[in-house]
Amino acid sequence: MIKKWGPGRLLLPLLLALGVGSAQAQVTNFSNDVNASIDLGLGWLDTVGAYNNPSSAGNAAGLTLLALLEKRASADQDSAAQGYENASPADQARMRRSAAFIISRAFGASFYAYRDGGDAMALAVYLLSGGPDRGEHPDLPAGLPSDVIGTINAIFDRIAANQNETGGADDGYWCYFNAFCPDSSTTQLVMAGLAAIRSVYSDATYSDAARLAQLNALADRAEAAYIANAITSSDVCNGIAADDAGHGYNRGNAATHQQTASGTWIQLVGGSNVNSAGVQEYLTWAKNRYRYTNIVGNAFSGQSYYYYLWSSSKAYDFIEGSGIDPNPGNTSVEDIGTLDPAAAPVCNVREVHRDPATVPRVPLFGAGGAGYYNDPNEQPRIYFDYAYSLLGYQAADGQYDANGAPGRWDQYASQAYAILVLSRSTGGGCVDSDGDGICDADDNCPTEPNPDQSDRDQDGVGDVCDNCPDVFNPDQEDSNGNGIGDACEDDMLMCDMDGDEDVDRADLRLVGALRGESVPPADPAADFDGDGTITVNDARWCAQQCTRKNCAEDEVQQVFQKSGT
């Protein structure tokens, strides 16, 4: 099944391990047009000097470099971001020039939220994807004021020094140049930078335990701010539901699409997950007011459309990447875009998913009527809604500003946001849902803590959550749902509870101790009849599997009596 928001970074090495080549690549008519759109958009940035040194993008140079780094390597829907190492020589040269410009202006500068957040994301991805450092290439001369990690540290230190930590209502926010306003538009960009820096400090090469602990404390305060200051009043469809809430531009302002989206993923970076109460309030707000063609009615709607798309897409990608399923009755990412505007709660500006099977091809990319994008790998989903809108707004020169496109605050930033959405980028951000110090995108078991990342069978699934830890089974198929992977179920010795490869009275006692428990979490080896519950029948069947003497059925009854069952 294709995710609504594309796979995380783990998918590419997994596909390579499986020997999946281009014959199985998921390339569709739509993904080809998206790939062409990204190239066209990056071409415009290059033409206007965004990748020069000095960069014409100015304070948005971090975002434009990030857009280039996060470009997908191909039109394959599962393609990973190119980063530096996999980029073409021409793109690598653009990246080097941009990185040199950012280092030269960022090291030693004073705090500015918008610039520092973008710069932190770009340098983090550049560094971790193999970008050359100061003195390693003529484009990054030895005379630069700092190396890459030194610049990242400098940006982090001034971010840390400017969060509001007064303990009052504004605690946890950043303002434009200091800590003295509870502004969400600045806070979200700073938090995007911190999420990317967490990836750096979590990497063995650049590990910095002290700064990482400080970063996590900053993220915790921001998370708490968005939980405490969730508001039920909204700029759009106000008061339609009692179970949703969002966030506005400043603490206390009516909730908007762009800031509610930002507040969703900020909570995730702080440690919340899809089932946390605050995240549920924000997701339900988004479900009840889903938009993708524009966000008219919101404060600053004409200037914030592009970063709304990117902020919300990041939230959805982080949720899917966590591997945590929504609890029954909770709002999921899959619920968003499925609610008719006339359905309760009524919101007449709410939109529903476009259907790839019925919409025509975007004219900029060639002829094609309704059904041109019809493909089993192109289902109605959030990504299609967002990407189809952006392609429709793109001009022939590559700018996303044609055909009635919403306004924008900064042409470089908006261009970068559009490309980042199309590239399914999370800006190098690290969310650690299980708190084991490994980012979800790199964690071989993001739902269970496993800092050692042990994977005995090398199938890309960590032992603590592998349903067949000693047999290679990356698909984790479990046809009967008993918690044992199909690949190893036939090899399992039922009733061998202590793993000594025989069944004796010790095993029967262990079976008896589990009476009445469900599988999972109880050991499936005790569930002989496979009905999902350990009962006396399982013990009787296990008695017949005994491989030692004096292991009769009457012993089974004694076992249950001694265990108090």
Predicted pLDDT at 531? 85
Helical axes 505-513 vs 553-562, angle rounded to 10°: 40
Q: What does the buried/exposed string (b/e) look like for 158-180 if buried means 16 or more CB atoms within 10 Å of the residue's CB?
A: bbbebbbeeeeebbbbbbeeebe
Q: Which CATH number is associated with domain 493-562?
A: 1.10.1330
**27: its two tokens:** 């390339």
**481: its two tokens:** 């749902």
Predicted pLDDT at 491? 56
For 367-371, which contacts have Cβ atoms below 8 Å and span 24 or more sequence positions? 368/29
- Rounded Cα distance between 258 and 246, Å, is 10
Residue ranges covered by each domain of the chain: 11-422, 493-562
Cβ atoms of residues 374 and 331 within 8 Å: no
Instruction: Return the C-alpha torsion angle 286, 287, 290, 292, nearest 10.
Output: 80
- Rounded Cα distance between 524 and 503, Å, is 15
Closest Cα to residue 355, out of 378, 333, 335, 389? 378
Helix, strand, coil % (nearest 5) of the chain?
45, 0, 55
- Rounded Cα distance between 488 and 210, Å, is 43
DSSP 459-513: SSS-GGG-SSTTS--TT---TT-SSS-HHHHTT--TT-TTSSSS--HHHHHHHHH
Cα separations (Å) of 181 from 113, 251, 307? 12, 9, 21
**67: its two tokens:** 């857009």
Q: Which CATH number is associated with domain 11-422?
A: 1.50.10
Is residue 162 classed as helix, strand or coil in its secondary structure? coil
Cβ atoms of residues 372 and 361 within 8 Å: yes
The one-letter code for the residue type at 181 is C
Fold match, 11-422 / 493-562: no
Angle at alpha carbon of residue 286, lines to 257 and 272, rounded to 5°: 100
pLDDT in tens, 476-526: 998 878 788 888 876 567 888 888 878 888 888 999 899 999 988 888 888
Predicted pLDDT at 11? 35
Backbone conformation region of residue 138, classed left if phi is above 0, alpha if psi is from -120 to 50, else beta:
alpha
Predicted pLDDT at 250? 97
Predicted pLDDT at 484? 83
Q: How deeply is 457 buried, as exposed, middle or buried, from its count of CB atoms within 10 A (0-12, 13-18, 19+)?
A: middle
- Rounded Cα distance between 348 and 351, Å, is 8
Q: What is the full per-residue pLDDT of the chain (565 aa) written as tens digits?
A: 233 333 333 333 333 232 323 335 799 999 999 999 999 999 999 999 999 999 999 999 999 999 999 999 999 999 999 999 999 999 999 999 999 999 999 988 999 999 999 999 999 999 999 999 999 999 999 999 999 999 999 999 999 999 999 999 999 999 999 999 999 999 999 999 999 999 999 999 999 999 999 999 999 999 999 999 999 999 999 999 999 999 999 999 999 999 999 999 999 999 999 999 999 999 999 999 999 999 999 998 888 999 999 999 999 999 999 999 999 999 999 999 999 999 999 999 999 999 999 999 999 999 999 999 999 999 999 999 999 999 999 999 999 999 999 988 899 999 999 999 999 999 999 999 888 889 988 899 998 999 999 999 899 999 999 999 888 899 999 887 878 888 887 656 788 888 887 888 888 899 989 999 998 888 888 888 888 899 988 888 888 888 776 675 445 455 555 444 4
Closest Cα to residue 76, out of 42, 41, 37, 34? 34
Predicted pLDDT at 1? 27
